[in-house]
Structure 1
Amino acid sequence: MTSILICLVIFIGLLGLLKYLSHRRVKFHFRNLIAISLGVLFGWAIFKWVPENSYRELVYYFKTISNLYIRGLKLMIVPIVFISISYTLVRIKGEENIGKRFRQIITYFVLSVLGAGAIALIMAKSFHFEKLITIDPSITSNIAKGYSQRIDALSDASIGKVVYGLTQKIPTSIFEGFSDNNIVGTLVIALLVGLAIRKMRKRKPEEMTRAINGLSSLQVIINSMTTYIIKWTPYGVLALMTMAVAENGPTLFGYLLQFVGIAYLTMMLIFVMHLVILSFRGVKPWEQLKGMFPALITGFSTQSSGATLPVTIKSLEENCDVDAETASLTSSLGTTMGMNACGAMWPVFMIVLAVGVNNQMGLVSIDLTSAATIISMLLAVVISSFGIAGLPGTASFAAITAMTIMGVSPQVMGVVLTFVLSIDSLIDMGRTATNIFGVSSAATFISRSKK
């Protein structure tokens, strides 16, 4: 009981320190960095000196702060996506510009996913991922049993049925589209509303003007709400980092160190890829990184590009000189497609790991050196990168889809996912930040192109 009280006093004191720094006008990204540092130190101290039974009680106080922050961000996902898409469609001049803008965004997403997938494949092969997993064939079925049962229900080897599955996400009612943070459903409804207003603008100018003014007013209100919630970021980051380190301790940084290190190195290369592309538009790498830093920190902490959406849009508009239409449209679409880490890097890693498991189990091997296999893998990655939700853990679903298209059996998938389970959360932090940076690069590139 004494250790709980001491930790609570320290935690409240750290929250108070962050509040003091806010009053002193310390820059937002500096406060986030300070929150991460304090969370790591405090979490490490808890792991080292606080008994496990005491921490189980203590963690609810940390979760209270993190839940207020994450749920506040998630609360804004649907209204932001709806307003961003519908109001952006209304404001874009010319029918041809709408199709052009969507083509630009989706083209950038597809090409960046292909680039990220190629980088991941080169890294996985260079560091011999196919040799990382060592298994005993006699106990393979027991290791993978739980996963394989779940995967059997999720996987489908038909590309046509994977594409059909995406259409199943289209809502059958307005309320369903807005429920449970259904991003695909919200996108569909927002597109229909925006296009309907554009179509009826000439026939019913007075009514449509009122509708547009209503969307504009609603956007102002939602932006104000979002800005207020974003101010909670340092407190949420402190709680999230404290729990991450307190629950894992040294294993957070040590277990499967080679795999974790290569994953982060690959993500750094994906960052470099985008920075090189942006340099052709005159964007300075440091300025882009600095401008997107609040969104990257938020994504790293929350492990959710969907929850980070309001911060992403705000960072693009205010720090990266991206016009509001492009920032809103690209960021909203980027919560369900074009994810360079979750939709490209992770599925490629899982496929290469699966090749090694296949070999050890004596199953039909996948030749990763053949052109046909590489092309099939990259196409599978592009398909799996569309329609996934920007929420923690969804990278595994993208990986399952890609592995299924490549013909990997559910049993092998189970072994692979079991291997990465314990360090998935740590890598997911970097995956989310990488996804967000890829989306922000698309918005910046397209905005600079338009200008």
Structure 2
Amino acid sequence: MKFGLLPRIVLAIVLGILIGLVAPNPFIRIFATFNGLFGNFLGFIIPLLIIGFIVPGIGAIGKGAGKVLGWTAAIAYISTIGAGLLAFITAKTLYPSILANQSLKEFANPEDALLKSYFNIEMEPLMGIMTALLLSFVIGIGIAAIKSDLLLKLSTDFRDIIHLVIEKVIIPLLPVHIFGIFANMTNAGQVGSILSIFIKVFAMIIILHIVYLIIQYTIAGSVQKRNPFSMLKTMSPAYFTALGTQSSAATIPVTLKQAKQVIKMERVADFTVPLLATIHLSGSTITLVSCSMAVMFMQGQGYAFATMLPFILMLGITMVAAPGVPGGAVMAAIGLLESMLGFGPTMTALMIALYITQDSFGTACNVTGDGAITAIMDKINRKDSMAEEKAAI
């Protein structure tokens, strides 16, 4: 039986806590050294990751089917941003009460409480995060504008290389990184508060996923004049399939089959479902916003609306075409966490651990919501078809 990423992360957290309680400092410093090297490598690869994901994502979207593409992308983006705002409002309202007296702000700098590495190797990134983002937008939009198949193929091949680095290097080493972080934090006496926060945040995120799916299908049901809960029930096989696969892309066949049962024009689903699998990440956005605010709360750091709104708006773009591997969305978002929210290596590691422990639920929310957007697009497309028929007559 395959030992998936989630069980490995959970095992790494448990072992990290147990080892951190009993291991001597020199032993824990070995993993602190690994964490430093791994964190430096992440810093190096992030700009390349941003370029590898965003350029082919925007370039490929620009080669779609005109008005249907535009409407689908616009609705998906609005849905993703709405999910992020819901998570922000909920976290802003609830965290001061449900996470009261559990922050780690007594550590002016959390890094000072942790054991240091034996040595460090600098791995300077080729460019800054914002430079990578701007370059990605310029190249991606340019590819879409000039319809260059060659540049699109080159960017897709580059994305496949970055995908391979994530799948074969970063993801396999991630549990070791998480183990080292938790062993070090346990040694520093910080882990009790962190685990308590994990449980409460996890419960809040799952509830938010369910609430947002109900909102999505209430809108879709009103457009289609159908019972939203009946539509949700129809899409439930996609939800449970995604729980197991942890990948929107791997769940496309099931999502497509179920989506065709909630619409009238099946060809609409043939276009929207594969597209939405890469551009609609409402569940992942809820998770990323909730987890990032929990980590910021944990460190005694503020999260004003003026700070979080640009982060949410950029998330909707940056996660386009995130790789179809578990944890892909959080890997794509690391650059934003560091550049826009000021996350350091320890905060980033906590964020990754928080995110991956419920990654399958975020993916399930993503793909189930795709059915709601497909239903809305079905209605829009039918209206356009009827208008064209009347014009022809």
Report the TM-score, using the length of structure 1 for normalisation: 0.52
8 Å CA contact 1:335, 1:390 repeated in 2: no
1:164 to 126, 135, 152: 135
Q: How does 1:289-308 map to 2 (within 5 A)?
A: 289-308=232-251
Q: 1:307 to 1:137 in 2, by over 3 A?
A: same
Q: How does 1:37-48 map to 2 (within 5 A)?
A: none
For residues 219-257 of structure 1, give each alpha carbon's deviation from its aligned partner in whole angstroms, at most 9, with x where no partner exists.
Answer: xxxxxxxxxxxxxxxxxxxxxxxxxxxxxxxxxx99932
Amino acid paired to 1:300: L
Q: 1:113 to 1:428 in 2, by over 3 A?
A: same
CA distance in 2, matches of 1:301, 1:139: 35
- Say whether residues 1:449 and 2:391 are aligned partners: no
CA distance in 2, matches of 1:346, 1:308: 19
Q: Partner residue of 1:140?
A: 111
8 Å CA contact 1:155, 1:400 repeated in 2: no
For residues 356-403 of structure 1, give each alpha carbon's deviation from its aligned partner in whole angstroms, at most 9, with x where no partner exists.
Answer: 2553xxxxx5451x5x33432332232333232243111212432332
Amino acid paired to 1:314: K
CA distance in 2, matches of 1:429, 1:339: 12
8 Å CA contact 2:81, 2:312 repeated in 1: yes
Q: 1:409 to 1:175 in 2, by over 3 A?
A: closer
Which sections of structure 2, spanning at least 5 residues, go unmatched?
2-59, 144-150, 164-194, 383-393
Which sections of structure 1, spanning at least 5 residues, go unmatched?
1-7, 9-84, 90-97, 183-252, 360-364
- Say whether residues 1:119 and 2:86 are aligned partners: yes
CA distance in 2, matches of 1:316, 1:269: 20
CA distance in 1, matches of 2:122, 2:288: 17
- Say whether residues 1:347 and 2:328 are aligned partners: no
Q: How does 1:31-42 map to 2 (within 5 A)?
A: none
Q: 1:181 to 1:357 in 2, by over 3 A?
A: closer
SS at match of 1:283: coil
Amino acid paired to 1:176: D
Q: Partner residue of 2:269?
A: 327
CA distance in 2, matches of 1:373, 1:108: 24
For residues 145-180 of structure 1, give each alpha carbon's deviation from its aligned partner in whole angstroms, at most 9, with x where no partner exists.
Answer: 89x99998599441x522434658965459938968
- Say whether residues 1:128 and 2:95 are aligned partners: yes
The Cα shift of 1:407 comes to 3.9
**Max radius of gyration: which structure?**
1
For residues 183-239 of structure 1, give each alpha carbon's deviation from its aligned partner in whole angstroms, at most 9, with x where no partner exists.
Answer: xxxxxxxxxxxxxxxxxxxxxxxxxxxxxxxxxxxxxxxxxxxxxxxxxxxxxxxxx
Amino acid paired to 1:387: A
8 Å CA contact 2:239, 2:367 repeated in 1: yes
The Cα shift of 1:293 comes to 1.6
Amino acid paired to 1:409: F
CA distance in 2, matches of 1:439, 1:154: 36
For residues 273-331 of structure 1, give each alpha carbon's deviation from its aligned partner in whole angstroms, at most 9, with x where no partner exists.
Answer: 202211321131122112212211110111111110111111112x2235333212221
Q: 1:125 to 1:336 in 2, by over 3 A?
A: same
- Say whether residues 1:439 and 2:384 are aligned partners: no
8 Å CA contact 1:339, 1:435 repeated in 2: yes
Report the TM-score, using the length of structure 2 for normalisation: 0.59
Q: 1:139 to 1:256 in 2, by over 3 A?
A: closer
Amino acid paired to 2:89: I
8 Å CA contact 1:299, 1:305 repeated in 2: yes
SS at match of 1:311: helix
CA distance in 1, matches of 2:114, 2:276: 35
Q: Partner residue of 1:417?
A: 349
Q: Percent identity?
A: 19
SS at match of 1:391: coil
SS at match of 1:336: helix
Amino acid paired to 2:326: P
- Say whether residues 1:381 and 2:315 are aligned partners: yes
Amino acid paired to 1:134: L
8 Å CA contact 1:313, 1:327 repeated in 2: yes
Q: How does 1:245-260 map to 2 (within 5 A)?
A: 256-260=198-202
1:286 to 229, 233, 240: 229
Q: Partner residue of 1:401?
A: 335
Q: Paired residues, what number?
A: 275
8 Å CA contact 2:197, 2:294 repeated in 1: no
CA distance in 1, matches of 2:115, 2:257: 43
Q: 1:380 to 1:291 in 2, by over 3 A?
A: same
For residues 116-151 of structure 1, give each alpha carbon's deviation from its aligned partner in whole angstroms, at most 9, with x where no partner exists.
Answer: 0111111211221776553645762676989x9999
1:110 to 57, 74, 77: 77
